[in-house]
Structure 1
Amino acid sequence: MLEIIFEDEFIIVCKKPPGIPTQTPKSGVTDMVSLLKNYRVSKGEPHYVGLVHRLDQPVEGVMVFAKDKKSAAALSAQMQAHTFEKYYYAMVEGTFSPACGTLENYLLRDGKSNVSSVVPKDTTGAKRAELSYETVKTMEDRSLVRIQLKTGRHHQIRVQLAHAGHPIIGDKKYGRNTPGYLPLGLCSYHIGFIHPVTKKKVVYEITPSGAVFQQVSYE
């Protein structure tokens, strides 16, 4: 279940499978943080795992975790400064026009329902959300788009794409409530950041493995 992409004494880069939470307070539920803590302990290392960023439970993707507090602080600072690169592939309904562009909205999160909505700018508690998109491939009824996050809001990509009229395939929360099950067509395939100790730019990528991404070339 745990797929390590890169590891040194300061960071662990790994792939989060779809369906596994990044972190959860629920007892008895496997999450990425607990998996990595157990992994470190099994190697005789301290169990500390610094959480730097999150992915929604149904989303697969590449993630970085810190192995000490100083590295966690350095990576978190990059997140706050919006210099941490995050690119996603999304399989969406329909075809974007124009084929590339920017989406900017204001989102409001409902903590009780765990749902975010697009609201007017002056709504109390609303937060600005921005992403850029580029159509990679168009098929009969769907499109593969590349997403770059400019901000990191709750369910941001899912909410903004649905609001734009192109919900993500398999997204029952923000898209069509179609019968049967389709895995969410969203993958965080690229992260880039400055290594907290070497200070060198590093980039890590994965190829989406979800069913909705099959038969698509990513070259």
Structure 2
Amino acid sequence: MTGSDGRPTPAPKLPVLYEDNHLLAVVKPPGILSQADETGEADMVSLLKDDLKQRYNKPGNVYVGLVHRLDRPVGGAMLFAKTSKAASRLSESVRSRNFDKLYLAVVHGAPPAPHGRLRHFLRKDAGRNIVTVHDKPLNDAKEAILDYAVVAKQGSHALVAVKLLTGRSHQIRAQMAAVGCPLVFDRKYGAPPVQGEQDIALWSTSVGVTHPVTKEWLTIVAQPPATEPWSRFDEHHFAKALHAISAEGGMDR
């Protein structure tokens, strides 16, 4: 990677949450692509390949399989496969919805109910890189479903736990905005403007899946950073969020 002055920029640190011969889970920093695109900018798959080469002194190519994606502005727990067999089995878990993804969001206001399910239809506007939210099916619109639970409130903000039942681009951002609760710093979906650039308040806090080899259920957890607006809440709130959907929404696996 190179900066605006043409000099190499150091690769971002990718804290390892879990690793064995088959899987690798790390903390994705906000602003990094999940996989390479036409821009040639840094992406998680390439960064992890380089990291594995260095850590294990491997001279040739290494395998890193993309299992699921996080939108570029989103940080947090992200799981990758280290073998093609693991990638195939994990991809099947994603297709069969045996793959839990729990997010934390800090929103303006609070949803109308302390917990519930949101179901909309999202249409992607590729030109503007934004999705529009609709209550009824439309051509080219994809169904989007999520469960949420309000974990805590601090002033005019709420900490919300979100479990995705579908994985659509910008899904949480768009659906929360549609019920009047845009994510903090998410100006694209209606949050008030602030000075300077800020990461939107959305974090992948937990990923759960059946291990492709041992067949045991594996849960990977990443706590949000101690920065605004996450600093308005504490570890107790974040721990509570991991159980909020199951306890309040009846969403036990």
TM-score grouping bracket, smaller chain normalisation: over 0.9
Equivalences, count: 219
Contact 1:169 1:182 in 2 (8 A): no
Runs of 4+ with deviation above 3 angstroms:
none
- After the TM superposition, which residues 24-39 of structure 1 pair with which residues of structure 2 at under 5 Å, given as runs? 24-26=36-38, 28-39=40-51
Residue aligning to 1:19:
31
Mapping of residues 91-102 of structure 1, within 5 Å: 91-102=106-117
CA RMSD, 1 decimal: 1.5
Q: C-alpha separation between the residues in 2 aligned to 1:5 and 1:98?
A: 33
Question: Gaps (5+ residues) in structure 1?
Answer: none
Q: Is the 8 A contact 1:167 1:175 kept in 2?
A: yes
- Give 1:122 deviation, angstroms: 3.2
The one-letter amino acid of 2:183's match is I
| Counterpart residue number, 1:108 | 123
Amino acid at match of 1:154: S
Residue 182 of structure 1: how far off its partner (Å): 2.9
Read off the aligned partner of 1:205 and give its amino acid letter.
V
The structure richer in helix per residue is 2
How far apart, in 2, do the equivalents of 1:7 and 1:176 lie? 37
Q: Which deviates more from structure 2 when the two are superposed, residues 29-38 or residues 45-54?
A: 45-54
Please name the residue that 2:5 is paired with: none
Given that residues 40 and 46 in structure 1 are in contact (C-alpha distance below 8 angstroms), is that contact kept between their aligned partners in structure 2?
A: no
2:199 is aligned to: 183
TM-score of the superposed pair, with normalisation by structure 2? 0.82
Q: Which residue, out of 17, 39, 46, partners 1:5?
A: 17
Aligned mate of 1:207, from 223, 228, 241: 223
Structure 1 contact 183–211 (Cα < 8 Å) conserved? no
Deviation at 1:97, TM superposition (A): 2.1
The question of whether the paired residues in 2 share the 8 Å contact of 1:169 and 1:175 is answered with no
Match of 2:214?
A: 198
CA contact (8 A) 2:185 2:194 kept: no
Q: Deviations over 1:91-150 (max 9, x none)?
A: 000022211111000111122222111135331111110001101111111100100111
Give the aligned partner of residue 144 of structure 1: 159
Q: CA deviation at 1:83?
A: 1.2
Q: Does 1:159 align with 2:171?
A: no
CA contact (8 A) 2:108 2:191 kept: no
Task: Select the residue among 134, 147, 151 that pairs with 1:132.
Answer: 147
Q: In structure 1, what is the equivalent of residue 245 of structure 2?
A: none
Moved more, 2-11 or 117-126: 117-126
Of Structure 1 and Structure 2, the greater strand share is in 1
**Which residue number in structure 1 is paired with residue 249 of structure 2?**
none
The TM-score normalised by the length of structure 1 is 0.95
Where 2:235 maps in the other structure, the secondary structure is coil
Secondary structure in 1 aligned to 2:205? strand
Query: Residue 166 of structure 2: SS of its match in structure 1?
Result: coil
Shift of 1:4: 1.0
Counterpart-to-counterpart distance in 1, 2:147 and 2:158: 15
Give, as a single letter, the amino acid of the residue that structure 2 aligns with 1:6: Y
Letter in 2 for 1:217: D
The 1:120/1:137 distance shift into structure 2, 3 A limit, reads closer
Counterparts in 2 of 1:171 and 1:35: CA distance versus 1, 3 Å: same
176-185 or 31-40, larger mean C-alpha shift:
176-185
